Amino acid sequence: MSTKKSFGTREIATTAILLAICIVSQIFKNLSVFITGPIINTCIVLTVLLVNLPCAIVLSMITPITAYFIAASPVMTAVPGIIPLIMGGNIVLAVAVHFLMKKDVCAGGKTAGGIKSYVKAFLCALAKGIFMGLTISLWLLPSFIPEASPLRAKMSTFQMMFSVVQFATALIGFVYVFILWPALFKLNKDNK
């Protein structure tokens, strides 16, 4: 008899709950990106840790679309090509967590923190920030916002938003993950 973990109702329900949390958080996007961003990053990381990488990738792709429909920023409306690159940044985060952190964090159980995990979390957040900084801040926005557009006056703000702020909100998301992980690990272990 195989002991390999199968994908089933529990994994679908966990992914759906984390997606619902992301969607509800997007209602507050216009208040502050520092509310929505960390919550979405937390949910992506938790999906990798609690479910699997493919579900985290699906979540990574759905959240920019729901953000566009719930609270689209002026730059998203002006340059819709930003949506696939936001998806890409989220996927970079999910893949980095899967390959750099999942084994250590899940094996570490309730005490999955520590310097090694914190450094890996920093690197995962940095990978997302660099990807979005290069693709959105340095290429997409300067290339596709016309010179005559009033959005050009806010270019430096948009560039900061899609690079440094993305890195910062991913780091805050990891803080939430490390705070929540002991309880979630116990709950996840008890439900197996």
User: Does the pLDDT of residue 133 top 70, yes or no?
Assistant: yes
Provide the residue ranges of all domains of the chain, joining segments of one domain with +: 9-190
Q: Of 90-99, 107-116, 151-160, where does the model show the most confidence?
A: 90-99
pLDDT band at 6 (very low <50, low <70, confident <90, very high): low
**Which residue is listed with tokens 């006056």?**
153
Beta carbons of 110 and 185 less than 8 angstroms apart: yes
CATH class, 9-190 region: mainly alpha
Beta carbons of 116 and 104 less than 8 angstroms apart: yes
> Coil, strand or helix: which one is 148?
coil
8-state DSSP, 163: T
Token pair for 110: 């309730």
Q: What is the mean pLDDT of residues 120-127?
A: 98
Question: For residue 154, what pLDDT is reported?
Answer: 92
Query: Average per-residue pLDDT in the chain?
Result: 91
Question: For residue 192, what pLDDT is reported?
Answer: 59
Question: For residue 1, what pLDDT is reported?
Answer: 38
Helix spans in the chain (H)? 9-25, 33-50, 53-71, 74-78, 82-96, 102-108, 115-132, 141-144, 155-161, 164-190
Q: What is the mean pLDDT of residues 151-159?
A: 93
Q: Which of 129, 115, 109 is nearest to 173 (CA)?
A: 129
Query: pLDDT, tens digit, for every residue of 162-184?
Result: 999 999 999 999 999 999 998 88
Query: pLDDT, tens digit, for every residue of 46-77?
Result: 999 999 999 999 999 999 999 999 988 888 98
Q: What is the mean pLDDT of residues 87-106?
A: 95
